[in-house]
Structure 1
């Protein structure tokens, strides 16, 4: 007959292996609460207004393309400041901001964090309908590059589309729709300074988080691309606020992806990568071409800003495995108690 302690030990090992299997993918991150707080401390308030984002190593700009509502880094002649690389930036309380662009139908699209359910992490920045702030539609009231509307090469990689598969003359789907309601933090971003010791100064303007408005101490500089005339530039990491408190932080990386098969609309996206302070490949130069005040957007859910971190999340357990982990601890306690009682 198998001794009772051995049975308990085998059951405990089985439950632990189940936790590892259930958590799958990346799972939660034990130091997420610490890292999240550090990111907020190292991030900064910025004036609201119209910005461009240029990657410091590749000189590519973050770009919106109307075709299939793509958000991808620029290529060739598009790697400049024009209507496709100007973004509206709004404030949402604390140090959270949203990044907007209007498509040709004047629908407001937001840079949003996409969840990859196959790998269990946030994998890309995508264009989704703005759900975090749909109060107003705000667009630049100036043309930074008159007459230039983007040069797009049809031979570049294009998004995949669902449709007929000619093989065997049957209709197949290229994707499975796993759409979930967008949490506020999926459309909110933080601007983490490349050097936390620096104070970001902008020409004749500063942001006042007490009022949610810009403060001006002189005339607004009128944007001029040819003269490089703007209200200032700074280097930042674009950090997604999604899962900031329970997973490893993700920053925008200047690489495009056109191939994925688990969302209903296959479009070009910009990849996310793990945030690593000092990694030049994650740095963007954000240029304020013109400040502007906007209606205050939705403030972030307090649970996403400074959530209460459970002991289980500190241990790195994902929600599906918390109950199993609890039972494992109870079994371990029972095993110790049984051995002590038998001795």
Structure 2
């Protein structure tokens, strides 16, 4: 027969776990299995050659694009749903399997795909264009024009953001409304659609021991019309931000133009929870031209996986303070019942 104190403690712990997970499912709070999920994402992610890429959404066929007007990152539409310099991104390595994704604006400021934190919901909600702070050593534009006669839209967007930073009445909305840039907010992982297969590239692979591409033949000259490039692969684009304490977030091809407290960054691409097999999160990344870059900043050790004790690992990472209180309460109840049991 199972002792009554053990049953009570087990019931309290399971009840707490249920309530805690339900809160996280709503998009708020920490995630008790984040350490395990983060490790799985790292294992299933891949090294890729550095260079110039396009990202095409598998379901919609839309490309991730940079629009110079107010530095927007939004999926393409209409004539822009093609390969052109507005959908061509510079991808650099940052150690481990972390990469940054860059585009320069018309005045040659380097902008990075960054994870935006929504303080009203307490979660990462979108990919935005912010000044590159994770890798500001060099600005590396493509040294070729993938579509010289392109006649689409480079510097406009429909719909346009509903608010503008020029409106002085909005000045107070900028006060303490988002986290300062951390390195993990400008770093991304490319998680394989099929974890059992590594992507193959034409005459090139990335050597993480040297931090640069290794070549086994001539580089394919990029040609949009003839679809000549150095290879493609299907990936989930995973934010490295909060990877070890919250549910993982992947880039989804949905634009948003509304965000009350940062009106100058309202042209964004939304994030969603990462799920294997969800094609609405899959992107085809195509390497148009590999190129070696100066080694970027390595991940900040404060934001990568920490060493866990056996006790912490058993509960999915560092024990959250609220969970610790419940555990100590459960132990106290157990001790009380054990004392009463012995007295009888």
Band of TM-score, shorter chain: 0.7 to 0.9
Partners of 2:52 and 2:149 in 1: CA distance? 19
- What are the equivalent positions in structure 2 for 1:1-343 lying under 5 Å apart? 26-148=28-150, 150-151=152-153, 155-161=158-164, 173=172, 177-263=176-262, 265-309=264-308, 311=311, 315=315, 319=320, 321=322, 324-325=325-326, 328-329=329-330, 331-332=332-333, 335-336=336-337, 339-340=340-341, 343=344
Where 1:68 maps in the other structure, the secondary structure is coil
Q: Could you state the TM-score of these two structures normalised by the residue count of structure 2?
A: 0.84
Answer yes or no: is the 8 Å Cα contact 2:159–2:257 preserved in 1. Answer: no
* Aligned match of 2:6: none
Alpha-carbon RMSD across the aligned residues, in angstroms, is 3.1
Q: 1:327 to 1:59 in 2, by over 3 A?
A: same
In the alignment, structure 1 segments of 5+ residues that lack a partner are 1-11
Q: 1:43 to 1:69 in 2, by over 3 A?
A: same
User: Could you tell me how far 1:265 is from its partner in structure 2?
Assistant: 3.2
Residue range with higher mean Cα deviation, 257-266 or 324-333: 324-333
Where 2:95 maps in the other structure, the secondary structure is coil
Name the count of aligned residue pairs. Answer: 326
Answer yes or no: is the 8 Å Cα contact 1:28–1:318 preserved in 2. Answer: no
Partners of 1:68 and 1:48 in 2: CA distance? 27
Q: 1:198 to 1:164 in 2, by over 3 A?
A: closer
Deviation digits for residues 124-146 of structure 1 (CA, Å, limit 9, x no counterpart): 11111111111111110000011
Partners of 2:320 and 2:212 in 1: CA distance? 39
* Aligned match of 2:7: none
Partners of 2:56 and 2:167 in 1: CA distance? 39
* Aligned match of 1:6: none
Where 1:265 maps in the other structure, the secondary structure is helix
User: Could you tell me how far 1:177 is from its partner in structure 2?
Assistant: 3.5
Residue range with higher mean Cα deviation, 71-80 or 306-315: 306-315
Deviation digits for residues 87-135 of structure 1 (CA, Å, limit 9, x no counterpart): 0000111111110111111111111111112112111111111111111
